[in-house]
Chains A and B, each alone.
Chain A
Amino acid sequence: MISFRRTRAMARKEFLHILRDSRSLYLALMLPVVQLILFGYALSLDVDRIPILLFDQDRSPQSREMLAQFRGSRFFTVLGDIESYQPGEYAITSGTAMAVLVVPRRFGEDLAAGKQVPVQLLLDGSDSNTASIALGYARAMVAGYSNQLRTEYQIRNGAGEIKPPVDPQIRVMFNSELKSKNYIVPGLIAVILMILASMLTSLAIAREWENGTMEELLSTPVRASELALGKLSAYFILGALDTVTIVLAGVYFFGVPLRGSALVLGISAGIFLFGAMSWGLMLSAITRNQLQANQLGLLSSFLPAFLLSGFVYAIDSMPALPRFMTYIVPARYFVAMMKGVFLKGVGMELLWGEGLLLLLYATVVFVILTRKLRQKIA
């Protein structure tokens, strides 16, 4: 039987430690939001306002019309018009422009004749990722314009029956504005909570060993499970506070929509924190050394949560071994749940599988933790 009184005594004492150590407390409360903001910006996958120069050799109404689309786009920032290749090449080499669009002579004429007309794009390929995105944007805009022209041409020449112009719009689901922040922030919250939870707790038991208080505790009637639960609940309060601030920061600072229910989010975060904090305590109980526990805590939470949770790298495109490894990373399930709740607005009816797996993980770690605590001094 677990004694509520002893568990509460443990929790209250642990909470006093947290309150007394004001510097660590501030850090624990501030760090998640700071991390969210830093990572949120650093990891932004959006490419917009690509600096571009325009070189219009044709100067026809058609060429002007097409270039006008570039001028009006939020994806491109037109730095200016040039009269020859030279300043364009210089701008790319010096890094002031990312691309130069060249419209050839006879562009309008050939188009009007229904011929195929090439358009040249000079691109800075040193950042291949951004370059390919820029290429994609440019191609889409040119294609859009040529489709428009072709339709007009067909109408004008009355070539048979008029088909409605094909609408090539691709509907982007769940993140219709294609804002990568919407995609990153929910996952990031999961990763940050994982790191935070295991860091906070990794010191809690090792500290008792190093202070010599553990020996004393073992000589009292306090049970391993009471000790673990007491400590967990104190840190859980801190973790819950952090969860609330970080979610609020995501919603209000980054403007990520929370489409699902806050309750589902709360429940899944609760299960996750329980597991992640048990993990930190377990490391602490095994190493009995604050430094080691802290390093192991950081290593074992940060790397898997970052690399193997599907947060940055899509799990489906991983090689077999790492993909298999993701199944034992609890952050994987939590990232999936967070994305589900935030972006898809789904509830437990779809997330129960992940929820159960998280619960299983938490239970297993908690059992190992109490086993480790139950061990005698030697």
Chain B
Amino acid sequence: MSPTLLFFRRLFRRKLVLAAALVLLSLLLGALLAPWVTPFKPDAMRLARRLKPPSDVNWLGTDEFGRDILSRIIFGARASLGIGAAVVAVSMTIGTTIGLFAGYFRRLDAPVMRVVDAMMALPDILLAIFLVAVLGASAFNVVFALSIVYTPRVVRVVRASTLVVRELPFVEAARALGVSTRRILGVHVLLNVASPVLVQATFIFAYAVLAEAGLSFLGAGVPPETPTWGTMIASGQQFADDAFWVVLFPGIAIVLAALSLQVLGDGLRDMLDPKLRKAL
């Protein structure tokens, strides 16, 4: 059996992790195939059918403009998961680079970690809302702001692992053999810090989905006309007294996405880090 296949077999031996992966996969497929799988157009208004409870026509009910909530949730997955994935990509790239350098070159370590400390002295959502306020509310700026917020976490993880890997005999050996620093960092160290980074990526994905919803809810995120799970709850909240489903179902989508990412991350960590598996 190939190593990749073996990896997935071990990962999915736990039913919960398998379930999480399946939930995530269906959310991702829904997002990709949204125009073909949704029963209605996400912005098709039918004022005659506004705020209707779940029925066999509109499985999850309709919102204040008579739009189908299920269709909007599936389209919302595009923005919510898309923003989350973009944040992961950006913060991982920048954070890993900075973390590698901070961990490998002693002289960079202290100044970099001070800045990381300073950024982590501000609560995630506060720093994010500040950045969005400065830059202006748009999907691009939300990605930018959340990437800045989560990069310090990646730096910490990568730097800590690099500090350990740097002292391992094979790095010493590579150096003795005259391997260039660039190659040592970019190949030898990077491959060895890959698993904590991978685990961190799933967690940051989950945080980013939650944070995007929070920002959009506050009106400091994606413009309200774009359906995301956060904007749906934000615009629906004033109708919640009469039509709770307007708020309930987008929230469940957020919980499902974040929860399955977290479960998957936990599963990965348990498998990639035998020491932690013992503790958990």
The yes or no verdict on A and B being binding partners is no
